[in-house]
Structure 1
Amino acid sequence: MRPNVVLIGSMYAAEAEELLEQHADVRRVDEQDRQAVLAALADAHGLVARYPAPVDRELLAAAPHLLAVLSSGRGVDNIDIEAASEAGVVVANNPGLGGKPVSEHALGLLLMATRGLTAVNRLGLEAAWDARLTTHRVELTGKVLGIVGLGNVGGWMARRAHGGFLMRVLAYDPYVSAEKMAEVGAIKVERLEDLLAQADFVTAHPELNDETEQMFNRTTFAQMKPGAYFMNTSRGRVVDTGALVEAVRSGHLAGAALDVYEDEPLAKDSPLLELDNVVLSAHIADFTVETKRALALSAANQLLTALNGKQPSAALNPEVWARVAERRQAMLG
């Protein structure tokens, strides 16, 4: 029996969808049509949910035959893993692919923010030309970069900043040892407030969870060095947007650069759009040609692995695999 696979939104590469179609009956549904999503899942065995499409308890309850859920990328804050585990559904993501592109993008944002590279687009050529000698610009070489969250992306950020720009790199991550940090050119700082007080630039790369949600708020922005810059390419909800706007408007922070937001897409009336010293991009840090293809193929291959009776390599709830395998055998043989 061929399994049924539902795609909520298209995958990042057509090649991955074609791969799934070779081995399964594939149905595509629009994330915005909730009823169509629920109806499509009635006989689905596999699901790929394009971020930020929610995979919640209601959805899982509508999918009695579901065996595996794949995230479109690395992040899974849109998937209720606890509910999936209760339902006997394995959840997997696609780790290890975003470090290089996201760190490149973060450094690009930092250069744009610190060197006024959006001036022509923002002000027009004539006004930007007139302001070129009075605009506030700073160099990176020899300055202090503070990295919050030294996982894959943070590690690549440290390598590039230390090796490429000769920056002094400090890192805060309670779950990474000083020895591991030293391997990528970073110095471990035990307390977040100590890093914030020293860094000329702070870049956020933590996982989004209960511990990190809105970890950058009025208190933490006040602890940052006056005149520092803040960047976020992780998840929007690690930042209290109102507090960031206040910190920039007051002049306490010299500027900021963001690729992710508390609510996406960013509202047309967001106060962030009113700030000349804030650089914004549209949640595209890891959406390079190379990484989109790698993410999509990773998701497709892991889903097929699960549907063929083997545990996917990046399962986030591997403790349920025995139940999944038993259910799969009963349904697909």
Structure 2
Amino acid sequence: MHVMFLFIFIFYSIINLILAANYSCNTASTCGCSTVSTVVTSRIIGGEDAADHTWNWIVSFQSNGDHRCGATLLTSEYAVTAAHCTVALLPLMPNLTIVAGTNDLSDSSNTAVQQRSIINMFTHPNFIAGRYVNDIAILQFAPLNIASDFNIGFICLPQSYQDPFQTGDNLIAVGWGVTSTASGAAVSNSLQQVTVQAFSSTSADCERTGISNATVQFCAGVSGGGKDTCQGDSGGPLMAFVDNTWVLAGITSSGQGCAQAGYPGIYTRVSPFISFIDSILGIPFNGSDTPSQVLVTTTVQTQDRNMTNKSGSISIFCFVSIIFSLLLI
């Protein structure tokens, strides 16, 4: 029995090594490259622990010290997240914070960790609750310390209306969401990463998932299931590797369950919202949205993402049956 499990471990390790993807980013870039310039990702199972300081732009969006959603740093005082997160958490505004500079949310001894109270939340004025259309919002907070020993970085943004990916491209999602679909599963304290592929919006799987507006949404996952974001991952980044930098392709938004075969996740398409982002950050914008369209969320309501959105996990795919099948050949 011990020999069999040893063989399984060795076989898995070899396959994992063969199928691992290596990304080396441009350290001279002002965005899209963290302290750890080379990222290695597995492509066998659903999710895996992210290496420390790999994704220095990911922050935890919290209420009363509890992780609720992810967000992605654009500057030292602004982060982008999902609109359904800001809408749901608006009543808790005095107790909302972001936590930056760590992979481990339970590590209270890490002096590089920074916490900031939320000053403002800007939700896209055309966000449609329930359909998750225009599911994007901006968080504002007091500036973070961006000295090198604080492990802070910023994501690159795509060009307006130019997606940094094509159908079938590998994309990487990160977050602290639940790692099991079991009832009552808790979010992860350790940052997880997972590789998925971009789906055509007209594919049967994407349409089955219930995508509402392909102009501002897209699907990503694995055709056989087993890799996905889930509850607690909402608002976090889905990233493309372009010209040796990491670019924000999507924002984790919603889906039918988690990691089910035939049901990829639904993500907010970032490229149509560059002008919305720029108008809040005070950067000249080059799209169709105007500053007058920017509103602070006050009245829009939506359900808590326990059922359909992803204010939450990365599911683990079972490969054991495949290994045993190979052993029986």
User: What TM-score do the two structures reach when normalised by structure 2?
Assistant: 0.23
Bigger radius of gyration, 1 or 2?
Answer: 1
How high is the TM-score relative to the length of structure 1?
A: 0.23
Structure showing the higher strand proportion among its residues = 2
Q: Which has the higher helix share?
A: 1
